[in-house]
Chains A and B, each alone.
Chain A
Amino acid sequence: MELKGISKSFKAPVISELSASFDRGFHVLFGLNGCGKTTLLKIISGRILPDKGEISADPKNVSSIFPNSCFYPQLTIRQNLEFFLTLRNKFLFEEEMKKIAEKIGADIKELDKKTEIVSSGNLVKAGLIKMFIEDCDVFLIDEVLSSLDESSFSKTMEMLSEKSKYKTIILVSHQKDKYRLNNAVFWEMKEGKVFKYE
């Protein structure tokens, strides 16, 4: 995935002429609070339009998960998944959902609870299930994995490692050390641009 000359300002510049190439694999993006990491991910996912620049990825081929869940509180996780997956021209197959839930350590019983009573960690798992079922070429994960318990985190990372062999996965995190074992490419965001971090 290529980013060329991306610029974005909200009263003040946040991203300035950012160009980068994210090959297939696992990428960890970090930086100071407010440096524009979430803004960059939202631009790539099509939620925000850049002021300038081009992105080679089509939002149709980008799955993403952000801290503020888009799920309707009055609906169950299952009902939310059915709805949002339909918008992506995907269907919620019971077996596939159960398989993914098991792989990331999610409790199947939670899926039939309304999201307003589900814990934040389980909401993240629901978002991950949605992302894995969408199965787009690009995965964007914005700081949500820190909500997972240790076991679920390990299982999720196993699955993401597997996926990174043929997808581009960009994960925002402040905890670089957690991802050093996953052949991750590290990027630091500062002064409106991203730089490879060795």
Chain B
Amino acid sequence: MNKIFAFIKKDFMLKKSYRFAFLWGIFSSIFSFLIFYFIDLLMDKRITAFLAPYGINYFSYVFLGVIIFNFSGAGPGSISQKVYEEKICGSLEEILILKENLFLFLLSASIYNFILSLGEALVYLSAGFIFFKIDFSSVNITSMIIIMFFSFFSFSALGILSSVFVLLFKRGNPLAFLLSSAEGFLGGAYFPAAVLPFGLYKLSYIFPVYWSIRASQKAFYSGASFLDIWPELSILFLFSVFLFPASFFLFGLALNKAKIKGSLNQY
């Protein structure tokens, strides 16, 4: 526990040095929400056929969708960015000398990013409540906590898998780019995936963020209980149970390869 706490404390101390970038990131996201808000106004805030299952207008949908999507990419999913930063600093080699630190490093990175993203999400939700008049009256907090719990492991797994590329190929991280682009388009963040033609709609199923957004929309706006979102939760559970351990195993293999190449501190 001491080591996990040390990792997280170190990351927060480093983040303090980049306060402006952090605040700018939040400001940019809120600005994006404004764009979606006015697009929704343009459409008279109608609930279209594709939004009817959720019972909400477009802005309400995209507001939560983008928060969850940001959470997946900038939160636990940004572990690859953390690995890259440690490489540049020259500290990755020192951190991963001891095998026991591998698990702790990845877990701490996941937890740290989760905490940061949760903080950002709370800021956005507050802005949604105060400025955009998002309706919070039906939120099922218990369901949301369970969704976030399984999403954490699923998104972290993808983040760790993405960082395998950083270890092996130094700079090029095609997986992160592909994941981010594909998830953005197919994940249901910006529009319900049902809008997509039949074939593409099915592709959405392979992304954890799709199930997370689908479950969250129901729990947030319709007060869906654990049983109501059981299909989505079971998929997220499967992603967590299989992907999370697999990602650690693959990272361990990649670390071995990098130590043989002597490339841990190269970028």
| A contacts, CB < 8 Å to B | 10, 39, 42, 45-49, 51, 59-60, 68-75, 79, 82-84, 86-88
Contact = CB atoms under 8 A, between A and B. Distances in A.
B81 interface: no
Interface string B3-18: 1001101100110010
A69 B90 contact: yes
B125 to A, nearest CB: 30
A75 B265 CA distance: 19
A79 B2 contact: no
Contact of B91 (A70, A79, A82, A88): A70
- Report whether over half of chain B's contact residues are helix, strand or loop; otherwise say mixed: helix
B264 interface: yes
Contacts of B89: 70, 72-73
B259 interface: yes
Contacts of A45: 97
B99 to A, nearest CB: 9
B262 interface: yes
21 contacts: A46-B97, A47-B94, A47-B97, A47-B259, A47-B264, A48-B259, A48-B260, A59-B98, A70-B89, A70-B91, A70-B93, A74-B13, A74-B14, A74-B17, A79-B13, A83-B6, A83-B7, A86-B3, A87-B6, A87-B101, A88-B98
Contacts, number: 61
Interface of B: 2-3, 6-7, 9-10, 13-14, 17, 89-91, 93-95, 97-98, 101, 256, 259-262, 264-265
A51 B261 CA distance: 9
Contact of A87 (B9, B17, B98): B98
Contacts of B94: 47, 70, 84, 87
Given A49-B256, A74-B14, A75-B10, 6 more contacts: A39-B262, A59-B98, A68-B90, A79-B13, A86-B3, A87-B98
A82 B9 CA distance: 11
B177 to A, nearest CB: 27
A69 B89 CA distance: 9
A88 B6 CA distance: 11
A72 B93 contact: no
